[in-house]
């Protein structure tokens, strides 16, 4: 059975803007649910770690690091209508990044096969020099760059299934050939980027793969996107490690989006990633929590994802449905653009 680790750091609780959708209840619901279904005891604790400024500079400009630290020292402020810095926010964000780094090291050292980082605030909207979209620092981007400093590691893939496009991750790796960034997201939607024709530039041309899905897509469309595009792209790229920006806000119950994925759909995506990782990179996967704003729905989806990575049989099976014709055409266009026909 795969050795699966869990990172959680209570420092996230100090980053709390009250009546804000990105709040501590998201993580508390996940941990409580995993305890109730007797999964928590089966997961190996990943030790806490705070990312240093040197770590953060792997993906961010010093100006952003200084802005978050200075804003906190002044008592906190809103950086944009969605994104706030409060007393305790810097440590919460830096320790979320540190948890991802610790998880990567444990997976690459062979102590774990898979690690889940149940931390907040999320990160995939944070660009090199801007915090936005609830995100202060980009955990998965820093983790990818950190992984590539390891001896013998040449390629890292990032699979992002948050309902919002990870514009920050895309920008950070836009010209990099050694990081494959694949994103499924609702389009057009916040933050406005991620059209399927956005594929990277220079050495990174073709290493950015966007599946800009229309509103209303559910399990059939998401699983088809994995089967027809993402898994073939991973097989061609042959990563040494797969990182996952796991947003659960494409769930049909989520209040901030318009998709219709169920817990069974998330389980299906996790199972496909586990099987592909076993084929390509000795099963090495690190999952980082991004969005998801209906706590009970996120908790159930995380549970089924964990069970998939543990190799358990499917707990739920998505109903057989036909893929929407507009999505089928999109998938065909993306396959052709990226030479996956």
Residues forming the active site: 125
Helix (H, G, I), strand (E, B), or coil: what is residue 266?
Answer: helix
Contact 6, 112 (CB under 8 A): no
The reply to whether omega before 121 is within 30° of 0 (cis) is yes
Residue with tokens 């279904």: 37
Q: How far apart are CA 341 and CA 115, in angstroms?
A: 33
Q: Which residues contact 275 (CB under 8 A, 6 or more apart)?
A: none
Which two structure tokens, joined as six digits, stand for 182? 């694949």
Instruction: Give the largest Cα separation in the chain, rounded.
Output: 54
Q: How far apart are CA 174 and CA 181, in angstroms?
A: 9
Contact 210, 229 (CB under 8 A): no
Which two structure tokens, joined as six digits, stand for 68? 């978050």
Beta strands per DSSP E along the chain: 4-7, 44-45, 77-78, 84-85, 114-117, 156-160, 179-186, 208-213, 241-246, 285-289
Which two structure tokens, joined as six digits, stand for 224? 């088809």
Q: Give the helix ranges, DSSP H, for 74-188.
A: 89-108, 139-148, 167-172
Q: How far apart are CA 231 and CA 225, in angstroms?
A: 9
Nearest CA-CA partner of 177 in 153, 146, 154:
154
């Amino acid at each position: 059975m795969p050795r699966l680790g869990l990172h959680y750091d209570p420092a996230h609780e100090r980053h709390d803007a009250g009546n804000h959708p990105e709040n501590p209840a998201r993580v508390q619901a996940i941990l409580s649910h995993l305890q109730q279904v007797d999964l928590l005891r089966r997961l190996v604790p990943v030790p806490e770690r705070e990312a240093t400024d040197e770590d953060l500079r792997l993906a961010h400009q010093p100006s952003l690091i200084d802005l978050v630290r200075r804003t906190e020292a002044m008592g906190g402020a809103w950086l944009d209508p969605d994104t706030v810095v409060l007393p305790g926010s810097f440590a919460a964000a830096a320790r979320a990044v540190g948890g991802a780094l610790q998880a990567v090291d444990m997976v690459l050292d062979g102590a774990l096969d898979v690690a889940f980082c149940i931390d907040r605030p999320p990160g995939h909207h944070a660009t090199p020099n801007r915090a936005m979209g609830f995100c202060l620092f980009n955990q998965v981007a820093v983790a990818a760059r950190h992984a590539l400093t390891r001896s013998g590691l040449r390629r890292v893939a990032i699979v992002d299934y948050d309902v919002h496009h990870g514009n920050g991750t895309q920008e950070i790796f836009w010209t990099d050939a050694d990081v494959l960034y694949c994103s499924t997201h609702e389009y057009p939607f916040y933050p406005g980027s991620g059209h399927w024709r956005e594929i990277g530039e220079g050495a990174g041309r073709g290493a950015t793969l966007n599946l800009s899905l229309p509103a209303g897509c559910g399990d059939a469309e998401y699983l088809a996107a994995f089967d027809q595009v993402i898994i073939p792209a991973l097989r061609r790229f042959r990563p040494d490690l797969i990182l996952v920006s796991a947003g659960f806000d494409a769930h049909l119950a989520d209040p901030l989006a318009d998709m219709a994925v169920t817990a069974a759909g998330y389980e299906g995506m996790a199972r496909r990633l586990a099987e592909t990782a076993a084929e390509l990179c000795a099963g090495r996967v690190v999952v980082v929590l991004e969005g998801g704003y209906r706590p009970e729905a996120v908790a159930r989806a995380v549970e089924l994802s964990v069970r998939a990575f543990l190799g358990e049989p499917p707990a739920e099976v998505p109903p057989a449905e036909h893929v929407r014709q507009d999505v089928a055409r999109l998938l065909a266009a993306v396959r052709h653009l990226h030479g996956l026909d």
